[in-house]
Structure 1
């Protein structure tokens, strides 16, 4: 019976997609979808394709660099498609893929929960801060 090293055990656990293991790809995906701009972009694309400028307007406060990076990452992960339309000027649209649409209900629920419970969270923060 051979003894496995800690690195081998971590690699095996990562291969089983255990997000509690640092090297697990599922953990990397959780990091990605936990990003506020990712959540907001996916929710913004819920009703169909949007142009870059429309997304930029809808996601108040996002820099062009961050929006570009977010969209590229979502495209890389297979959650968003980027379509260049042969128009003058060139028009680029972003749309959720079937995989992105599958994630959408989760993201909508989290966004809705945050909006619904924000008053309670603010009250809890105030109470916590008053004791510090």
Structure 2
């Protein structure tokens, strides 16, 4: 009986929080979303903003964010043809959380 009480008191991470960090914790995902918070951007512009990311990784992360419904890909037929990526309403809903994380990092993590 004592063992049952101890097992039921174990701490458990919130499942939604675990999913959020599993998704946003992938390398480049969070900073890519943060980069798009300032507005739509093309592939080359995003690549320049995210120093060190490869073309294939950027493409992969953009695809994942699109599948999750956080980023939308828009094609302007031009001429010239232009592709831009922008946050959806679900992506924009992350704005307060990302700003809070950035503030926390500035105040608590060494540069």
Please report the TM-score for the alignment, with normalisation by the length of structure 2.
0.77
Where does residue 35 of structure 2 map in the other structure? 44
Indicate yes or no: 2:93 matched with 1:102.
yes
Q: RMSD across aligned C-alpha pairs, in angstroms? A: 2.0
Structure of greater relative contact order (alpha carbons < 8 Å, 6+ residues apart): 2
SS across alignment from 1:95: strand
Q: Which has the higher helix share?
A: 1
Query: What is the TM-score when the length of structure 1 is the normalising length?
Result: 0.65
1:64 aligns with 2:55: yes
Structure 1 spans left out of the alignment, 5+ residues: 1-17, 20-24, 123-132
Cα deviations by residue, 1:47-68 (Å, 9 ceiling, x for unpaired): 1100110000001111111100
Unaligned runs of at least 5 residues, structure 2: 1-13
Moved over 4 A (4+): 25-29
Alignment: residue pair count? 98
Which residue number corresponds to residue 75 of structure 2?
A: 84
